[in-house]
């Protein structure tokens, strides 16, 4: 399977997961069962959310700067392409993005911009980490290094670890790693003594012995907190769904979406991992048909871009630096 | 002035600040029957639906009016609990609260208690915690600072990162005040615990600059809001905001509680704990005897609205207990 095929599968899987999980966001698994039985079909014509659009933004940064990408480059891109639009057409920004915008407006520089606000641990970096794994296919450590440059602008601590775990795992899956190896590569990129590592390991154990949604939630969900975008939780649920689905795109993405919580993000991550492993043909055609150019609703600067074109640009950027391939 | 009077000032000063912030009445209405609070939420909906600017306040319909009078709430109760358990292993003391269903606690504390109940230990309970950055440990650190003890083990049960640094800073500040330090020395002791590369260290230095430039605490309020508050997140309890405000207003007031606490209460986002922390610092600097008598009278007795076992507890007695011989061994060797 070619790198380009895997890259297309990865971003198509991400976009499909984003779109499938969208209506299940913040719902309890029981409520999902009540509404859909099992949620398997993308709502026609609705498309994805911030997960897809911010992933395209990250891919644009990589296409521009390649492996020389620094936190300073990312901060400049925010200042020029995000901050001016935040009170105009931009919608769908999470706490971490808005907190970052406020920190940048104050003139702070990374990594302080990612520490200034309270949502350093959000899954906002994990949701857009897949392009780093595509660019650094087969090199999980390099993927984790690059995504940390992006994360230093908007995240700190567990939020950066969540992004690193996803980027490194995608990099492994892009080189053909099986699900167990892929999750191991994600874990190897972050400190063992971290919340994200503890959550991913607990969730992976449950998934491997086919534990249910309730058991997974008990293990990794913070029960007395109203927001669902904690990276340690979202990344753990996404990896568990990917393991439970055996790396199959449809099974993995459906498993993630039906776990609820930050379902668009967890399903997008499960889609990126499984899509990188199975390639474009692994993504159900009925889902692929629902993925068009993004509208730029969350991030106007990416309006009109299609994930398949973005995948090709990422691979071209990679080839410029690594003509020898993996 | 004696150090005992300053410890009393720290405790009752914290309770005065706690009582001065608008959330105190909300917390104290927790003593009412649940249906009365449900009615208030419905009136909130009613105001929204009918586009009314008459906003509902906590009210007593067929309920006692006492809890709605000016008085202390969560911060004062947690200070009292900390003082009463200060000689004990912290995980053990908190562990006795895990599983209790009659407590009202912060998100950081709830998550830590859940962690303890699930078999996790500190510092994981404070680290794997969505509100690791809040100031719940900083509030408890007033007791450790007054007793001359290290607050870290206590802080790590519920907090990490900025939340633990805040506790170290508050304990250092209160300790300095109890030994006779002035406002500038108190702020310097706190800053020494707050590295510039952290959010709390950055914000503390910004807040102090802003407050000094403003000249007096009330004048500093809009500038502190502009310099520190993003108004993005749904809760205003980040230690990286409340502790810097408390330090800044302490300095801007020259350590005078009567000037600093009302200014802190004018920042609604931070009104749950910034006034309390400000009251603890300025109360410790000025001592109990200098506190406004009516406020001290209203604030020294706990309601039990969050930790019901503490209903009726006198903070003054707890402050004096902190200095009894049984506690001397713990503070031996402390400056």
DSSP result, A64-86: HHGGG--HHHHHHHIIIIIGGGT
CA distance B290 to chain A (A): 37
> Dmax over Cα atoms in chain A, in whole Å?
52
Query: For B124-149, what is each residue's pLDDT tens digit?
Result: 999 999 999 999 999 999 999 999 99
Look over chain B and give the mean of its residue pLDDT values, rounded to a whole number: 95
CA gyration radius for chain B?
A: 19
Buried b / exposed e over B287-299, threshold 16 CB at 10 Å, is bbebbeeebbebb
A121 interaction partners in chain B (CB closer than 8 Å): 130
Q: Residue B186 pLDDT > 80, yes or no? A: yes
Answer yes or no: do B130 and A108 touch at CB < 8 A: no
Q: Kindly report the nearest CA distance between residue A235 and chain B, in angstroms.
A: 14
Average pLDDT over residues B160-180: 98
Q: Chain B residues with CB inside 8 Å of A116's CB?
A: 199, 202-203, 230, 240
pLDDT digits over A4-41, tens only?
999 999 999 999 999 999 999 999 999 999 999 999 99
Strands (E), A2-90: none
CB A196 within 8 A of CB A190: yes
* Interface subset of A 76-95, CB within 8 angstroms of B: 95
Q: Tell me how far apart the alpha carbons of residues A39 and A23 are, in angstroms, rounded to a whole number.
A: 9
Q: Which residues of B touch A103 (CB under 8 A)?
A: 230
pLDDT at position B103, please? 97
What are the structural domains, with CATH classification, of chain A? Answer: 3-320 (1.10.4080.10)
Q: Are A190 and A163 in contact (CB under 8 A)?
A: no
Q: What is the CATH number of domain B3-20+75-328?
A: 1.10.4080.10
Sort residue A4 into left (φ over 0), alpha (ψ -120 to 50) or beta. Answer: alpha
pLDDT at A131: 98
pLDDT, residue A86, reads 73
Q: Please give the DSSP secondary-structure letter assigned to residue A122.
A: B
* pLDDT for B76 beyond 90: yes
Q: What are residue A122's DSSP bridge partners?
A: A230
- Opening angle at CA B131, ends B128 and B136, nearest 5: 115
Q: What is the pLDDT of residue B33?
A: 95
The stretch B290-303 carries a mean pLDDT of 98
For residues A313 and A175, what is the distance between their CA atoms, to the nearest angstrom? Answer: 18
Residues of chain A with pLDDT under 70: 88-92, 325-326
Percent of chain B whose pLDDT exceeds 70: 96
Distance CA B139, CA B142 (A): 6
Mean pLDDT over B24-49 rounds to 96
Q: Shortest Cα distance from A194 to chain B (angstroms)?
A: 8
Under DSSP, is residue B30 helix (H, G, I), strand (E, B) or coil? helix
Region B40-62: mean pLDDT is 95
Burial A249-261 (b: 16+ CB within 10 A, else e): bbbbbbbbbbbbb
Closest CA to B107 of A230, A112, A166: A230
Does residue B333 carry a pLDDT above 80? no
Within 102-141 of A, beta carbons closer than 8 Å to B belong to: 102-103, 108, 112, 115-119, 121
Joined tokens for residue B7? 């410890």
Residue closest to A59 by CA, chosen among A315, A324, A237: A315
Alpha-carbon separation of residue B232 from A4, A71, B48, B65, B70 (angstroms): 40, 23, 21, 35, 30
Distance CA B305, CA B311 (A): 8
What radius of gyration, in Å, describes the C-alpha atoms of chain A?
17
- Is the pLDDT confidence value at B260 over 60? yes
The DSSP code for B238 is B
Q: Which of A95, A116, A224 lies at the smallest CB-CB distance from B111?
A: A224
């Amino acid at each position: 399977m070619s790198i380009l095929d895997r890259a297309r599968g990865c971003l198509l899987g991400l976009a499909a997961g984003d779109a499938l999980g969208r209506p299940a966001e913040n719902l309890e698994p029981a409520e999902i069962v009540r509404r859909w039985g099992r949620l398997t079909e993308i709502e026609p014509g609705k498309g994805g959310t911030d997960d897809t659009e911010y992933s395209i933004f990250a891919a644009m940064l990589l296409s521009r700067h390649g492996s020389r990408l620094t936190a300073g480059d990312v901060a400049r891109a925010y200042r020029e392409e995000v901050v001016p639009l935040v009170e105009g057409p931009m919608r769908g920004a999470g706490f971490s993005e808005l907190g970052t915008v406020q920190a940048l407006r104050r003139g702070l520089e990374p990594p302080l911009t990612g520490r200034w606000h309270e949502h350093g641990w959000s899954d906002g970096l994990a949701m857009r980490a897949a392009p780093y794994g595509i660019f650094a296919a087969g090199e999980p450590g390099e993927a984790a290094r690059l995504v940390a440059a992006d994360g230093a602008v908007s995240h700190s601590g567990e939020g950066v670890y969540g992004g690193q775990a996803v980027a490194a795992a995608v990099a492994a899956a892009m080189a053909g790693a099986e699900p167990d190896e892929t999750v191991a590569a994600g874990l190897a990129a972050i400190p063992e003594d971290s919340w994200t590592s503890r959550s991913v390991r607990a969730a992976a154990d449950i998934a491997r012995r086919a534990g249910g949604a309730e058991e997974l939630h008990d293990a990794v969900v913070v029960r007395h907190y109203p927001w669902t975008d904690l990276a340690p939780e979202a990344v753990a649920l996404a990896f568990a769904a990917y393991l439970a689905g055996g790396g199959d795109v449809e099974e993995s993405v459906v498993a993630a979406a039906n776990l609820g919580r930050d379902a668009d993000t967890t399903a997008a991550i499960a889609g990126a991992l499984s899509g990188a492993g199975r390639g474009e043909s692994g993504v159900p055609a009925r889902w692929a048909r629902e993925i068009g150019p993004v509208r730029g609703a969350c991030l106007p600067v990416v309006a009109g871009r299609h994930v398949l074109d973005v995948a090709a640009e990422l691979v071209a950027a990679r080839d410029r630096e690594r003509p020898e391939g993996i | 002035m004696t150090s005992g009077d300053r410890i009393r000032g720290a405790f009752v000063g914290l309770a005065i600040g706690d009582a001065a912030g608008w959330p105190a009445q909300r917390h104290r209405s927790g003593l009412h029957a649940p249906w009365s609070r449900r009615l208030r939420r419905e009136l909130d909906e009613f105001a929204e639906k009918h586009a009314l600017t008459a906003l509902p306040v906590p009210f007593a319909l067929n309920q006692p009016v006492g809890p709605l009078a000016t008085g202390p709430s969560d911060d004062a109760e947690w200070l009292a609990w900390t003082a009463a358990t200060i000689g004990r292993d912290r995980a053990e003391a908190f562990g006795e609260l895990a599983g209790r269903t009659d407590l009202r606690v912060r998100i950081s504390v709830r998550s830590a208690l859940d962690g303890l109940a699930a078999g996790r230990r500190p510092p994981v309970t404070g680290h794997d915690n969505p509100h690791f950055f809040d100031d719940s440990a900083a509030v408890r650190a007033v007791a450790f600072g007054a007793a001359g003890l290290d607050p870290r083990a206590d802080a790590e049960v519920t907090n990490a990162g900025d939340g633990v640094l805040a506790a170290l800073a508050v304990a250092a500040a209160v300790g300095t005040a109890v030994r006779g330090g002035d406002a500038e020395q108190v702020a310097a002791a706190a800053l020494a615990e707050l590295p510039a590369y952290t959010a709390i260290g950055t914000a503390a230095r910004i807040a102090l600059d802003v407050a000094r430039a403003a000249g007096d605490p009330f004048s500093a309020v809009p500038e502190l809001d502009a310099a520190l508050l993003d108004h993005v997140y749904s809760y205003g309890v980040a230690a990286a905001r409340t502790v810097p405000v408390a330090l800044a207003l302490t300095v801007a007031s020259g350590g005078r509680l009567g000037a600093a606490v009302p200014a802190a209460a004018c920042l609604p986002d931070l009104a749950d704990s910034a006034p309390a922390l400000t009251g603890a610092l300025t109360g410790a600097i000025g001592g109990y005897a200098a506190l406004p008598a009516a406020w001290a009278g209203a604030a020294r007795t706990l309601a039990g609205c969050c930790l019901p076992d503490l209903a009726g507890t006198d903070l003054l007695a707890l402050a004096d207990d902190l200095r009894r011989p049984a506690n001397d061994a713990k503070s031996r060797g402390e400056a």
